[in-house]
Structure 1
Amino acid sequence: MYKENHGESNLNLIMNEENLTTRQRFEKELGQISFQELQKFFAKGMMIMVSDQLPIIDVAMSLHDDDVQQIQQWIDDEQVVRAHDEHAKEWVVSRTEFNAVTVAPWVLVQEIHNEE
């Protein structure tokens, strides 16, 4: 028996998720996370920084679709870079929060800048 969830069974929720497009799935999975929670991915070299100038979902889609030409252009323009030690040092001190989405095996992140 499936537990009811606001009138929709868990089975229906699972079926609805299966009908999501890849973009919709990335949009649904996009979430806020601290660097502390991302450290294990950073340590494995799996954390990719995305410039604030790019929609992170567009980058996720290009990576998923293996759009080598577009990804290379972003790398050349330094809009997509692998996170490195200097970034990590700054993030630890500033307790940086990110928007993040996973495109296995990578975790794409964008810093959240609080306007003060």
Structure 2
Amino acid sequence: MTELPSELCIKLNRETSKIDWEALQRFYAQGTVLVVAAELDLVATAVALAEDKTQYIADLLEKGLLQKADETQAKAWLAEKCEVWAVVVAPWVLVQRERTLAK
């Protein structure tokens, strides 16, 4: 049997949207942008953060699957004028580049 998504999961899914990286510069400057690796589910990661799943989040950080946006990445994304998927779990803004499909 499949587990139904929690209300928090549904709420965060509805609040997830694409946004230009440029629009997130203020949050990047404040150090509140977390980059979620492409292989992770953005909403599931946001739910884990919101539910304070400390060990899971620590494991993601240790593996580099979740990390603060760094200067090199921020400059590259700004130059590319890229869009990211984003969701807010205050005080954090979680972002993820769109997955590219193999051709």
TM-score normalised by structure 1 residue count: 0.79
User: Which one-letter code corresponds to 1:112 in the other structure?
Assistant: E
- 1:114 Cα shift? 5.3
Structure 1: how far apart are the matches of 2:78 and 2:22? 7
2:93 paired with 1:107: yes
Q: Any runs of at least 4 consecutive aligned residues in structure 1 with deviations exceeding 4 A, and if so which?
A: 113-116
**1:1-116 to 2 correspondences below 5 Å:** 21-113=7-99
User: Which one-letter code corresponds to 1:80 in the other structure?
Assistant: L
Q: Rg bigger for which structure? A: 1
User: Where does the alignment leave 5 or more consecutive residues of structure 1 unmatched?
Assistant: 1-19
Tell me the alpha carbon deviations over residues 21-64 of structure 1, each in whole angstroms, 9 at most, x when there is no partner. 11111000000001111111101001000001100111101100
- 1:112 Cα shift? 1.9
How many pairs were matched up? Answer: 97
User: Which one-letter code corresponds to 1:21 in the other structure?
Assistant: E
RMSD: 1.5
Structure 2: how far apart are the matches of 1:44 and 1:36? 14
Structure 2: how far apart are the matches of 1:68 and 1:23? 18
Please give the secondary structure, in 1, of the residue aligned with 2:48: helix
RCO higher in 1 or 2 (8 Å CA, sep ≥ 6)?
Answer: 2
Match of 1:4 in 2: none
